[in-house]
Structures are given as structure tokens and as C-alpha cells.
Structure 1
Amino acid sequence: MDKILYRLRECSLLFADDDPLFREETAQLLRYLFREVAVAGDGREALELYRQQRPDIVLLDILMPGLNGIEVVRHIRAHDPYTPILMLTGHSSESVLLDAVKLHLEDYLLKPFDQKRLIDALSRCIRRLDQLQPARVRLVGGAEYDLESRGVWREGQQLRLGAKESELLHLLVRTHPRVVAKSAIEDAIWENDMTESAYRNLVNKLRRKLGQDSIQTLPGIGIRAVLQ
């Protein structure tokens, strides 16, 4: 369970539901579990947020104005067959479950659900993400990173990274190709407030070891790993 919770803290989630009270209560729980949570109140907003942010996991209510959950999933699946998607529903009709199977949903949750049921469903999503991600990746500049051992090699030599350098690299590779904001890095690997100079120093030290082109900076937005 601890491993699953740790992995969730590395991930981003899109959550959409049109019930304001349920949406706010559930969003509070999700923000505790995830590194980043985008919240939408209807299907069109959910689809727009998906296109902008490309979250790791999607959690959608089936009955929403504009576009319903099934229609949102159809739009997503037209271009993205892999992102784990969970569906929320207030009923368990056979037609809904058949649609869920056709759209390759990871799971569905009947409202109201308890935290254990939610964690179980999210665990399935994490396992799917881990199956999709290769065990070892190569960054631009030639460094290779093993996600299991967290070892780093460049030109045949294993690199020695500091604890925070290692955490930052792991976060960037796990979230690739998304951009990670400074605030998200601070939440994930820093105990206290991270000054701008500490942030720049950490990124620059990691760049010097991996190669200057291994990390891309998008001014005012954040940074991301650049993989070959």
C-alpha cells in the first residue's frame, strides 16, 4: 500500500463531476493522494483540461452536461489508447458497463464509494502505468536511467547523484513528457520552502551530470526531461 501511495504522489489526475458538493469533497481527498489534480465541472471542460495537461490518470462522472463521461472517453481514446481512465456512476446498468468495456476503462466506481474502493481502483491504474513505462530510458545527452534501481549511467560509467538530484530525475522521468512546475518539485522533494536559487542550483547540478540538453526549461512554466 505504501508503494502505491508513493506512486500516486508522483502522478497527476484529471477529475470531472458536475455535482458541486461531491466534486469539492472528492477533490480534497484526491489532492491529498496526487501530486497534481485538475478539476472540471462538465465534460467539455474535462476534455479541454485533458488536452492541455495530459494527466496520468482520468476520473470521470458518467452523467455530465455538455459531453457526458462516455463521450469524453471516446474523444480521448480516439488519440490515446493508454491513459488509465476510471468512470464514476450512480447506477450499475448493463448498458453502462458494456460501454465501459468497449472503451477500455480501467475500472468503474459506484457512488457513493469509500476510500478503500478508490485506492483499489487507483492501484489498477498505477499497475497499468508501470506496464506501459520501460524499465530503462535514455536521455538526450547519452545518460541512461533505470527506473527500478534508480541508477544512472553515462558513457559506461555510473553517475553519483545527490539525494535531491536523484528524486528530481525520477520525478521528471516518471512524468515525461509533461512539464513539471517548480511548485510541484517543491512539494515532491523539498522539506521546506525552496528558494529560487536553490531550485536553479539543483537543476543546473543535474544538467551538468546528465548533459545540458537532458532537461528543458520552459520559462514561467517549469522543466521536463528530454528523452531520446
Structure 2
Amino acid sequence: MQVNKHHYKILFIEDEKIIRDNYVKYLNICYDEVYEADNGEEAYRLYKEIKPDIMIIDIHIPKLNGLELLKRIRKNDHTTKAVIMTVHTDINIMRELACLKLTDYLIKPVSIKALKSALNKVVIELSQFKVVPIKKIQLKDDYYWDTEEEKLTQYRKAIILSSKEKKFFECLISTVNRTFTIEEIISYIWENCDEGNSNALKQIIKNLRAKLPKGIIENVFGVGYRLKVEN
């Protein structure tokens, strides 16, 4: 029976060849373009070259470990979907992972069933939510966000944002119309997740709303917040 492939580019990073070969064989059945790497430096080179939609990353890889690889990517890219594979259950590592916008993390050894489940989440995110590329984004009422310069303007006049307001805005605009949970937002804004809390976030949102068009930041009751942007 023929399988309908997903039209996404996927990069699989794992240093153990037997494991990598088995997963890549499975992924080639389900995805149009599958790439592989056995170390972090090669993975980063491929990431820059092919611009994958999805990355599956083992933490324990040579030259540049998976955690540092994803941190490097997240400095400028908050849209590429990431699934981490790890043997770690250490709370400090889990906290670091929580700040890196993962779709899922899997504890090794990872079954094909578990990987398929994680990738189903990824495909839902990619198919149901608009991911905004790096460019100038029109909001409304002549407000624009320049993602390259990280600058908010209205009628070409710069609107000054605090560092936390900017981080919150970047989080929401990374995937337009997706509702981000309070926990996801706090993890994104505060590098040390313990520093953030819902009261501090409410104040940031209040201040930012005063600088943005009315109604652009939506509170989804009991879930979190999302950003409404003109198509």
C-alpha cells in the first residue's frame, strides 16, 4: 500500500549508526526529504544549508551536543520544529529543554511508535498554524514588526519595547494564531525559568498591550495567549 508522504524537510541527528539507519529508513517512508547527521557541527551546517522544517536531535552527540546545537539555532530561529531524544531525566536539563520551544522530548530508547506520536504533534503544528518567516510583518493600524531588526514601528516611528516585552512579542509572533500556554511563555521569556511567574507576565502583557493595536493580543481563557495578525 502506498503511503502519502508529508511534504516537509526533516533532519535526524544521532551518532549511533545502527539506530540512525533504522530511524532514517522509517522516516523516508513518511517524509519527502530526510537528511541525517552524526554530530552537532555537521547538523548545524546542514541546518543552515537545507533549512529543515523539523529536527529530531539526540542530546548525546559529539563535537556540539544536542542541547548546545538547539540553543545556537534558537538565537535566531523560533519556528523550526524540534523533538529531542535523551536518556536524561535530570530536572535541570529538563528545565533547559523547556526554554527551547520543543514540540516534544522522548526518553531513550525511543520506539517507532513514540517517534511517530511526536511527529504527529509536529505535523499538526505545521499544518494548522501559520509560521511567520523572517521579514517585515504587517500587524494592523500601520504597525509593523521587523523580525530582522527586532523593531516595532507605527508610521515608521519606532515603538520602544523593554527586553521582556520584546521576548513575549517574539514568542507570540513566531507562530501566528497559535495559543501559547502560560508555561511556554514564561519559559521563553526567562532564561532561568524559576525567575518567571504569572503575575510578572501579566504586568508585561498589560504594558505591551498599551503599545500595540487594540485586540491584537488575545487571552484564550484557561489556556494562554495568542497573536492575531492580518493575512
TM-score by length of 1: 0.54
Identity %: 33
Map 1:39-188 to 2 at 5 A.
Answer: 39-133=36-130
Letter paired with 2:24: A
Q: Supply the distance in 1 between the matched residues of 2:116 and 2:22 (Cα, whole angstroms).
A: 16
Higher helix share: 1
Letter paired with 1:114: S
Letter paired with 2:32: R
Q: Supply the distance in 1 between the matched residues of 2:80 and 2:33 (Cα, whole angstroms).
A: 16
Letter paired with 2:83: L
Q: 3-state SS of the aligned residue for 1:44?
A: helix
TM-score by length of 2: 0.53
- How far is the alpha carbon of 1:133 from its aligned partner? 2.7
Task: Give aligned pairs, total.
Answer: 130
Q: Supply the distance in 2 between the matched residues of 1:86 and 1:108 (Cα, whole angstroms).
A: 5
Gaps of 5+ in 2: 132-231
Asked which structure has the greater RCO (Cα within 8 Å, sep 6+), the reply is: 1
- How far is the alpha carbon of 1:91 from its aligned partner? 2.9
Higher strand share: 2
Q: Supply the distance in 2 between the matched residues of 1:45 and 1:17 (Cα, whole angstroms).
A: 11
Q: 3-state SS of the aligned residue for 2:69?
A: helix
Letter paired with 1:132: F
- How far is the alpha carbon of 1:40 from its aligned partner? 0.2
